[in-house]
Structure 1
Amino acid sequence: MKREIHLSRRTLILGSISTAATLAGCATPSPSIRSVPLPEKASRPLLPATDAELEQRYAALEDGGHLIPAIPYREMDPKFYRQRVKDPTGEPPGTVVVDTPDRFLYLVEPGGTAMRYGVGIGREGFAWEGEGVIHWRQHWPRWKPPSDMIARQPHLEKYSVANGGMEPGITNPLGARALYIFQNGKDTLYRLHGSPEWKSIGKAVSSGCVRLVNQDVIDLYQRVPFHARIVVRQDWSKPATTLT
């Protein structure tokens, strides 16, 4: 039986590949889907989640015909749990901010708060930084590695664009949701996406994309405004590459 995913005052969402998920594994645009708008005011208290809330937050769930396993959250560093925090970014509400050094993603809310998610990020030499727009969004995306990745890993040819890509599913490197980043009207090949590999959260293991556990990417997907601005920083002492 399908579980309903819903927001409450105290909990964020019910239940919101592998380490080989790469920058190339981050491609395939799709039509945008209208998101839940941000509230005008963020008046909810910054309270730590109870064990019961965490159990529900990271429970197994069925989504889009796919069974997402529960996350053994007690084995994760608690700082990487999804949680509402005081906004440290100074960015306008509705902005997504990826803090690469600390392995956090923030969605800035009105009223001085932000939703914070633990993330895994790209290995040195592959990670992207700058400012862009979340131009496309997709439920259970297909994975279509580009030709340069296939050249490095020929066994991925069967998932090429010409071959239709990898079917959506729990083993797909893009997970339950993908948010596609564009800069100056062009696809950066940089994605925010789901992953069942909870052990990769807080680590630099992918080849450029930002990964969240599937339960968290589902939650983020529902909150992100249409065409949200995104800022990704590797070094917060330097300005991001801005849009033109």
Structure 2
Amino acid sequence: MIRRLILGALLSASLSACQTAQQPAPVEAAAIEDAAWYIGSMPDKPFDVPLVDRRRMDAKYARQTVSYEGPERPGSIVVDIDQRMLYLVQPDKKAIRYGVGVGKQGFSWKGVASVGRKGVWPSWSPTKTMKSIKPDLPVHREAGLDNPLGARALYLYQDGRDILFRIHGTNEPWSIGEQLSSGCVRMLNEDVVDLYERVPVGTTVYVKRNGRYRV
């Protein structure tokens, strides 16, 4: 069942709030390749979450608890663009680490923000900048397996304003560990569901590059 759902959903071209820099493969080949990445599903509403075959990925990007020596307080999110890792800081110098995909060169944002709101199976609309670069993008896409934001999204805010950068799921699991997007932070859907359940609105998010997150 999950294979049929994914094959159907991925017959439409894959778009992202953080647009992939590579040229898409032909639809038929991409659909078969995409479906091969999945091995089952995790119950969720209104859609089950496709589960990725982790054997296809570098083991270092698997969700795991690691030692963490950074100065950030427990409960904070730290995104290291260079490492392609997201850390949810825990007490006792530990962190839950997730592999992520990040923005391509020149598109990655860094700084300090907070989770302004959270979305379950969110809909997606391209920004004005994205439309100016690629005018044929759809104006809106509803939630679903082919939605670029995936199963969950954390919307980053500064001074009470949405800065249009997200931490979100993805329907392109091969992009984890890569620098392909237009700036947002991508996670496997099962990982972003896990993170979503652990962090409240108001969580501080540090996005750093070259060891720095101060703009």
Same fold (TM > 0.5): yes
- Stretches of structure 1 lacking an aligned partner (at least 5 in a row): 1-16, 26-57, 160-164
Per-residue Cα deviation, 1:125-149 (whole angstroms, up to 9, x for no partner): 1110000111110101110112221
- Aligned equivalent of 1:131, options 112, 121, 130: 112
| Cα deviation code 1:2-21 (max 9, x no counterpart) | xxxxxxxxxxxxxxx98742
Could you say which residue in structure 1 is the equivalent of 2:214? 240
2:111 equivalent to 1:116: no
User: Aligned runs of 1:138-217 on 2, under 5 Å?
Assistant: 138-156=119-137, 158-159=138-139, 165-217=140-192
Q: Which has the higher contact order (CA 8 A, sep 6+)?
A: 1
The answer (yes or no) to whether the contact 1:135–1:181 under 8 Å persists in 2 is yes
**1:19-61 Cα deviation digits (max 9, x unpaired):** 7423489xxxxxxxxxxxxxxxxxxxxxxxxxxxxxxxx8512
Q: CA RMSD in A?
A: 2.1
Deviation at 1:167, TM superposition (A): 0.6
Alignment of 1:26-175 (within 5 A): 59-156=40-137, 158-159=138-139, 165-175=140-150
Distance 2:62 2:155 in 1: 23
Which one-letter code corresponds to 1:93 in the other structure? P
Match of 1:66, SS state, is coil
Cα–Cα, structure 1 residues 110 and 18, in superposed 2: closer, same or farther, change >3 Å?
A: farther
Deviation at 1:193, TM superposition (A): 0.1
SS of 1:137's equivalent in the other structure is strand
- State the secondary structure of the residue aligned to 2:69: coil
Shift of 1:153: 1.5
Check 1:104–1:18 CA distance in 2 against 1; reply closer, same or farther (3 A cut).
farther
TM-score normalised per structure 1 = 0.71
Residue of structure 2 in register with 1:223 after alignment: 198
Q: Which of 19, 22, 30 is equivalent to 2:17?
A: 22
If each structure's strand is expressed as a fraction of its own residues, which one has the higher value?
A: 2
What CA distance in whole angstroms lies between the structure 2 residues aligned with 1:214 and 1:153? 26
Deviation larger for 63-72 or 131-140 = 63-72
Gap change, CA 1:77 and 1:122, over 3 Å in 2: same
Distance 1:227 1:209 in 2: 18
Q: How many corresponding residue pairs?
A: 186
Secondary structure of 2:183's counterpart equals coil
TM-score (norm 2): 0.80
Question: Could you tell me whether the CA contact under 8 Å between 2:80 and 2:208 is conserved in 1?
Answer: yes
Q: Specify the SS of the correspondent of 1:63.
A: coil
SS of structure 2 residue aligned to 1:220? helix
Distance 1:69 1:23, change over 3 A: closer
- Structure 2's unaligned 5+ residue stretches are 1-11, 21-38
Aligned counterparts of 1:121 and 1:19: Cα–Cα separation in 2: 17
Any idea what the Cα deviations from partners look like across 1:46-84, whole Å, max 9, x if unmatched?
xxxxxxxxxxxx851231121322211011111100011
Give the Cα–Cα distance (whole angstroms) in 2 for the partners of residues 130 and 185 of structure 1.
Answer: 15
Cα distance change on mapping 1:184 and 1:79 into 2, 3 Å? same
